[in-house]
Amino acid sequence: MTKHIIKAEGSFPISKAVLHNCKYTLELSGQIGVAHITDKLADGIENQTRIALENIKSILKEIKWELSNVVKIRVYLSDMKNYEKMNEIYAEYFTKNYPARVAMAVKELPRQALVEIECTAAGDRAVGE
């Protein structure tokens, strides 16, 4: 997989753009902070962000991909006051060659979640190849 990262200035864990020439693209549905084992929404923005990102990692693992395959992230927040705390947790998962990203406030999320995260991933191998 070849990716060209156009880095953003500053300390935010995002890139201005990501150019890739990958064979496959995967669109992941939005993930909220619900642990699949308990089917319960976690408390707090930090826990919900962590679980949403762990859910994304788990989906990628099913096809033998990793977070490094993610090229674009879309973060939906029920309140922009949670942006900084979400960003702190996000920065634990993406530490270099950041995906392009957008974060926005929305009126409401499923199950009264505080955050929902969806993404696009790309790679050269599909399952079974």
Q: Beta strand 100-105 with 70-77: parallel, antiparallel or unpaired?
A: parallel
Confidence of residue 2 (pLDDT cuts 50, 70, 90): low
Q: Tell me the domains of the chain and their CATH numbers.
A: 3-123 (3.30.1330.40)
- C-beta neighbour count of 29 within 10 angstroms: 10
Please report the pLDDT score of residue 9 as a whole number.
78
pLDDT tens digits, 39-95 = 999 999 999 999 999 999 999 999 999 999 999 999 999 999 999 999 999 999 998
Q: Any idea which residue has 């674009």 for tokens?
A: 72
- Please report, as a single letter, which amino acid is at residue 38: T
Confidence of residue 36 (pLDDT cuts 50, 70, 90): confident
Which residue, 23, 24, 21, 41, is CA-closest to 32? 41
Instruction: Tell me the percentage of the chain whose pLDDT exceeds 90.
Output: 74
**Whole-prediction pTM value?**
0.92
Write the DSSP string, 81-106: GGHHHHHHHHHHH--SSPPEEEEEE-
CA distances 95 to 36, 72, 98, Å, are 26, 15, 7
- Return d(Cα 119, Cα 97) in angstroms, integer: 15
